Structure 1
Amino acid sequence: MMLTTVLLVVCSLFASTFSAPVAPPPVRASSATTVNTPIGTAQGVLDGSGSAVRFAVKYASADRFASSKVSTAWTFPNNGTDPSALPLPCPQLGLDDSQLDEDCLSMLLFVPPSFNPPSPGSPGMPVMMWIHGGSFIVGSATAPGLDGSNLALATNSIVAVIQYRLGAFGFLSPDGTNNNAVRDVMNALQFLQNNVASFGGNPDLITIAGQSSGATMVRALLAVPEAEPLFKQAILQSDPMDFGFLSTTTQSTLQSYFASQLPSSCTLTDPSCLSTSSLLSTSMATFGAAGSLDPAAGTFSPMRPVHDGSLLTSSLDLTSLPSFPTQSKSILITNVLDEATMAIYSLNRDLIPEAQFPTAVGGTFDKNRTSTILGSSFYKTPPPQNGQSSQTVDARVQLADLGTDYLWKCPGWSFARLFETFGGHVFVGTWFVGQTYPGNEQVSECLESGVVCHQDDIEMVFGTVDNPSDEQKAVILEMQARYKMFLLTGNPNVPAFESWQEVEAKVDGDVRAKKLGGQGLVDVGSCSPDFWGEEVQYDYQVFGI
């Protein structure tokens, strides 16, 4: 069993979770709200609770495989006329052609109900633009939990939830162009820059935020000089930083394979010859084959932003240390306590005997990294309990800890140190309280008390937990207060709550990761500067990307 292979299984779970759009909230009669914008009249609706006004709009358009262009007229998604309608998702697994749309570059704006365009001298509200996750192959602005109404109200901000082209549609243009999906997201930011003031927003206070591959996209934008003036600060939740960005060599290999699997008699941009579903099938075949075509692609998100040297001018990892760009922005980096638990236990439904732990580690890492991991004190066999033997001690516990450190937690901490060293302001935290995200209940271990699996932070941030416990209510209240302050100032500290210390890597290398939903700091453990990234290299270091 390989830790990287197991994550491919998780993508199929994501597909059932992210793909289908949620039903729109009930809309009040006579609830339409109109706003004059520089590109036309925007029409929105109040949701059933009246907590925010929701505007659905196409922020950009693009022909198949072409670069997108920012919208110059206010247009509803799906070529529709109903302001309450939600955008169809971009092409992805689990949907037929009637449930998706290649012309999918849309966003949902959630605006506090008492908004007014800022008067001269008034700063206006901050804006948070959310980028969904899903391994760059699934996801949408209408995925569960992403209703931004409660978050907009709690933070007194405008919340924009966007969608962007996925898979080959966003990353494997046949003419060799890469990073179309990155440009989509940049155009979403430009759309906000052009129009958000009409809704009472401040275009100089835009924060980009994302979870999982959405956080990878946030990190990509931090590596794009052209995007630098489009946003003020950034939030990265559960970014699998171990993989790094793609190299141009790996991207070219995947692009060639993708093209080779399509009929040579077809013009790829001709929908009469190649349907959306046929291109999607070939995209997913490329996704599945990527790790065998080039190990540097990995198996989790092999179609991802490319360090091309023109748009993305830095790989923003330890391999580019001499050229790591000077930073000035503030960022939040968070992970959840048990990032890898869903992946490990979804593939391995039965206990893995402790004696098989070395084999499992060796199936993922090369000989040197395996030897170092097995010889360390961080992933030792837990002591037998009540007469257990090596055949009854469950190695899945260690594998989940190892996977969390390897893919998410420790590379995030390494990035935090580097970002701060080069001038940025960084706050790091780990979620100790969450809400089981739809799909995670398929793994019973994610339902256990105290376990916070990958994605379980999403509904906490958005305040969309159904019937939250008292503990969850307290954490949601605190975190939304911290996000409100961060959106305004770039600092998440609020007088009513425990101090969230800033990273000071130049002083002692400690990231001072705060327990989110707890008191005090997270134990450093294997994420010390001299273990992961040094004794045990990350994949992006091994592959030189």
Structure 2
Amino acid sequence: MTTLTTPPVCTTRQGAVRGRTENGISAFLGVPYAAPPFGPRRFAAPAPAEPWTGERDATAYGPTAPKAPYTPPFDALIPETDVPGEDCLNLNVWTPEPGPGARLPVMVWLHGGSFSNGSANSSGYRGDSFARDGVVLVGVNYRLGTDGFLHLPGAPDNRGLLDQIAALEWVRDNIAAFGGDPDRVTVFGESAGAVGIGQLLAEPRARGLFRRAVLQSGACHHFVRPDTARRIGERMADRLGVPHTAEAFAAVPLPALVAAQADLRNDFAKRPDPAVWGDAALNGMVFEPVAEGRRLPGPDLGVDLLVGSNREENRLYMVPTGRFDTITDERLERGARAYGADLAGYRANRPGASPGELLDAIVTDWFWRVPAIRLAESVPGSHVYEFAWRSPQFDGRLGACHALELGFVFDLVGDPDYLPMTGADAPADLARALHGAWVSFATTGDPGWPAYEPAADRATRVFDAGACRTESDPRAAERALWDGRR
């Protein structure tokens, strides 16, 4: 039974916001943390939100960043939420104790979507379960695609990351009014959200804005260098028939820009030639953060880390498309060369594996598992996990694929957003275990298992149905194949 109470009101530095309370959880939705990034602010760094008078209604989700839809079959597997409007630099807050004084731990969620898709407004990203367990949950909408990550002369790079920093600054300045402790902020994200956090770890402006970080299926290895960013920007300009400048792009009607963005992404997917796409070719994303090189943090980071990946990440991109069953030995060998993998080592470790199984293992390690391990190795005291529960979907071949853990992290495995990937009977006990570990880490810095020690046992928490356990260096032989390679 839903219990409604008097609408809660919290006061931010910009003005008061009126939310809603159901079953003891208060939600404040669509709260602006920066000004709308349109008109004279198009392609600029985020500017402070304009103040308002009276109580601003915060009972409905705000606008989402402009984006093209996912292409089939991913549009059916990963539901999108779109809300039109220019005031898209907004966030959502869930809290069990609105008002100053509670000093609860805070978790700030950065969604994934290859820097081109996604939003914090997904029903699967509701913060009810975190608030139920004594955490203030903040979900952030940030600029995507061209607006957020395309290199444009005359505009700052990484505008989407600048948005994330602005949101974290808003949290620092305002979260106490919602019952949160600004000194106990954990930023967590998946896929592109985690890759963004990997960049924030080395960003001076982000220093001191969060005490802990959880990186799910993303770390510090994915970015494009300036030359690649310039080439991609020029290709987008050619497609639009405009000069490669921020001023020219700002004059393009938004529908045409979003359509061209989708076409550029499709061109990339059809022919990811390094001669054309540079660094982006292996990374698989046409929009990425721009950086001069890899920046792994050192032992003086001052941030507690929890990092990990899913056991069969790349199956999300191979099984639903039918590619998993059509990989030939020739295609496998070509892929292994492109990724610099020791194919003979994988074959020896997995006798009888099909070409599709071997390519999934190689790409999963190159793209997700090894970068997570390298990040943990660089920061002593980090904790490492692996999500191993295998989805029953696609006759069980989807496996422990990319993004499968999300419903478990949010303890919302029954949400319709997750059913296409998890099926209807995902184990609730596994959701409680994974979600509980994240809450424990945000609250105390200890997720419930030993830290990852490269010189010792490399303790890794493996999350699986009915068998959550701590293992010493899972698949050590395959991890070692990447020494000096990745």
- Indicate the TM-score class for this superposition, using the shorter chain for normalisation: 0.7 to 0.9
CA distance in 2, matches of 1:44, 1:267: 41
Match of 1:217 among 187, 196, 200: 196
5 Å-filtered alignment, 1:230-309, equals 230-239=209-218, 243-264=221-242, 273-289=251-267, 291-292=272-273, 293-298=276-281, 300-308=284-292
TM-score, normalised by the number of residues in structure 2: 0.83
Pair 1:210–1:511, CA change in 2 (3 A): same
Distance 2:113 2:252 in 1: 25
Partner of 2:384: 428
Distance 1:431 1:244 in 2: 21
CA distance in 1, matches of 2:338, 2:128: 50
Cα deviation for residue 406 of structure 1 reads: 2.1
Q: Residue 187 and residue 98 in structure 1: after superposition, are their counterparts in 2 closer, same or farther (change >3 A)?
A: closer
Counterpart residue number, 1:44 = 19
Counterpart check, 1:503 vs 2:452: yes
| Alpha-carbon spacing, 1:524–1:433, altered in 2? closer, same or farther (3 Å) | closer
Conserved 8 A contact 1:267-1:273: no
1:524 counterpart (470, 474, 480): 474
Contact kept? 1:435, 1:457, Cα under 8 Å = no
Greater relative contact order (CA < 8 Å, ≥ 6 in sequence): 1
Name the aligned partner's letter for residue 100 of structure 1: P
2:419 maps to: none
1:287-307 deviation digits (Å, cap 9, x = unpaired)? 345543233112522311121
Segments of structure 1 that go 5 or more residues without pairing to the other structure are: 1-25, 309-313, 318-322, 383-392, 494-499, 539-545
**Deviation per CA, 1:382-420, whole angstroms, max 9, x where unpaired?**
1xxxxxxxxxx7432222222222211122112211222
Flag the 1:270–1:520 CA change in 2: closer, same or farther, 3 A.
closer
Q: Could you tell me which amino acid in structure 1 is paired with residue 334 of structure 2? A: G
Output aligned runs, 1:445-460, within 5 Å.
445=396, 451-460=399-408
Residue in structure 2 matched with residue 487 of structure 1 by the alignment: 442
Q: CA deviation at 1:190?
A: 0.4
Offset at residue 522 of structure 1 (A): 6.0
**Alignment partner of 2:193: what SS?**
helix
Q: Within 5 Å, which residues of 2 pair with 1:403-422? A: 403-420=363-380
- Which of 364, 369, 375 aligns to 2:340? It is 369
> How far is 1:257 from its partner?
2.2
Matches of 1:529 and 1:418, distance apart in 2? 16
What is the deviation of 1:279? Answer: 1.1
Comparing 287-296 with 36-45, greater Cα deviation is found at 287-296
RMSD between aligned alpha carbons?
Answer: 3.4
Structure 1 residues 338 and 349, CA, compared in 2 at 3 Å: closer, same or farther?
same
Aligned position for 1:398: 358
Q: Which moved more, 1:328-337 or 1:285-294?
A: 285-294
The answer on whether the counterparts of 2:115 and 2:149 sit within 8 Å (CA) in structure 1 is: no
Equivalent in 89, 93, 102 of residue 64 of structure 2: 89
> Does the 8 Å contact 1:127/1:157 carry over to 2?
yes
In structure 1, C-alpha distance between the alignment counterparts of 2:425 and 2:62, rounded to whole Å:
34
Distance 2:171 2:315 in 1: 37
Distance 1:194 1:452 in 2: 39
Q: What is the one-letter code of the residue matched to 1:515?
A: V
Structure 1 Cα separation of the partners of residues 51 and 157 of structure 2 = 27
Question: Structure 1 residues 459, 265: CA separation in 2 closer, same or farther (over 3 Å shift)?
Answer: closer
Deviation at 1:31, TM superposition (A): 4.5
**Counterpart Cα distance in 2 of 1:153 and 1:399:** 41
**Cα gap change, 1:134 to 1:193, in 2 (>3 Å):** same
Q: 1:33 to 1:218 in 2, by over 3 A?
A: same
Structure 1 residue 139: deviation in Å? Answer: 0.3
Distance 1:135 1:144 in 2: 19
| Number of the residue aligned with 2:122 | 143
| Cα shift at 1:178 | 0.6
Q: Which moved more, 1:266-275 or 1:34-43?
A: 266-275
Report the Cα distance in structure 2 between the residues aligned to 1:485 and 1:469, rounded to whole angstroms: 27
2:432 to 470, 473, 477: 477
Contact 2:64–2:82 (8 Å) recurs in 1: no
1:456 and 1:272, CA in 2 relative to 1: closer, same or farther beyond 3 A? Answer: closer
Contact 1:171 1:180 in 2 (8 A): yes
Q: What secondary structure is seen at the aligned counterpart in 2 of 1:346?
A: coil
User: 328-337 vs 469-478, which deviates more?
Assistant: 469-478
1:14 maps to which residue? Answer: none
Q: 1:237 Cα shift?
A: 0.5
Deviations 1:427-457 (A, max 9, x none): 0011133778xxxx5x44356xxx3221111
Could you tell me how far apart the structure 1 residues matched to 2:254 and 2:261 are? 10
CA–CA separation in structure 2 for the residues paired with 1:367 and 1:270? 36
The answer on whether the counterparts of 1:141 and 1:161 sit within 8 Å (CA) in structure 2 is yes
| Deviation for aligned residue 1:265 | 8.3
Distance 1:430 1:376 in 2: 19
Alignment check: 8 A CA contact 1:446 1:453 kept: no
Q: Distance in 2 between matches of 1:398 and 1:75?
A: 60
Q: CA deviation at 1:110?
A: 0.6
Q: Is the 8 A contact 2:8 2:26 kept in 1?
A: no
Amino acid at match of 2:450: Q
d(CA) in 1 for partners of 2:162, 2:90? 14
Q: Which amino acid aligns with 1:68?
A: P
Amino acid at match of 2:431: I
* Cα gap change, 1:527 to 1:262, in 2 (>3 Å): farther
Distance in structure 2 (CA, Å) of the matches to 1:433 and 1:296: 32
Cα deviation for residue 39 of structure 1 reads 2.4
Alpha carbons 1:419, 1:426 under 8 Å: kept: yes
- Aligned position for 2:318: 344
Within a 5 Å distance, the mapping from 1:157-172 to structure 2 comes to 157-172=135-150
The separation in 1 between residues aligned to 2:285 and 2:111, in whole angstroms, is 14
Cα distance per residue 1:127-156 (max 9 Å; x no partner): 1000000100000011241011112212x1
1:234/1:331 contact within 8 Å kept: yes
Cα distance in 2 between the residues matched to 1:378 and 1:526? 13
Do 1:104 and 1:163's aligned partners in 2 also have CA atoms closer than 8 Å? yes
Of 450, 455, 464 in structure 1, the residue corresponding to residue 412 of structure 2 is: 464
Distance 2:360 2:339 in 1: 21
**Partner letter of residue 487 of structure 1?**
A
